[in-house]
Amino acid sequence: MTTFGVRLRESMRAHGPLCVGIDPHPPLLRAWGLTEDAAGVATFADACVRAFAGRVALVKPQVAFFETYGSAGIMVLEETIAALRAAGTLVLADAKRGDIGSTMDAYAHAWLGEGPLGADAVTVSPYLGFGSLAPALDLAKANDRGVFVLAATSNPEAVELQTITGPDGRSIAQRMVDDAAAVNAGAEFGSVGVVVGATLTDAPDLSKLNGPILMPGVGAQGGGADSIRKLVPDTELGAVVPNVSREVLRAGPSVAALRAKVAELSEEFAFLQN
């Protein structure tokens, strides 16, 4: 199997750059006329699989909205991941896991292993130190999977922490990007991506990352093509993976309408492939 980074780049070339979320939160379940339980989530996720499989570069189930319903919700998540991967669509589990030692190793095996929750990539939080991510990074490399490291997130609470500078003048967010770049060094296209909010007014230097840049905040949250151009150097635009969730999901529950919205947004962000 080729590395996750190379598979993602090939998928972006084939289907456009979008990462589309599967976020069955209660307001969307109600808007779709579904019950707020595991059965409603199953119907929601099934429509998303039929709409997105084979049509987008990456699909990102938000794990929390499945965990809410306990074991029944987790079963739906397992089935969703399996269905997407069976269709050849890359899956990013948005679990934002972060811990140390054997606990981080267990998280890594849950999301990057061969078990029922095994995805192509997982989001991780490095704020116990980038070194704490070693179990996930090592297993991702061994299994040709990917990791997306939270670097400069768009929530306002993050700014105070992530912009703190150290003795070398680098912000914490910049150090996360640089550490990810070090892991990707020498790769054709690295499998360690970073998460950078599209709604930020400033971003870390991404020019040496050599890996994917997942950019949430696109669409309903106000980010778009212009904000991406302001935050990412021209040389790295081809690495940007705009993450859209609500902007697409509000078009449901019609599978055809979901596909139409994906096509519309794919056209809007086609410049990233030039």
List residues with catalytic annotation: 96
Residue 205 in tokens: 């230097």
Quick check: bond before 253 cis, omega within 30? yes
CB contact at 8 A, 180 and 149: yes
Q: Cβ(93)–Cβ(119) under 8 Å? A: yes
Rounded Cα distance, 173 and 141, in Å: 23
The Cα 116–Cα 111 span in angstroms is 9
Q: Can you tell me whether residue 69 is helix, strand or coil?
A: coil
Whether residue 178 contacts residue 208, with contact meaning beta carbons closer than 8 Å, is answered with yes
Closest CA to 202 of 234, 171, 225: 171
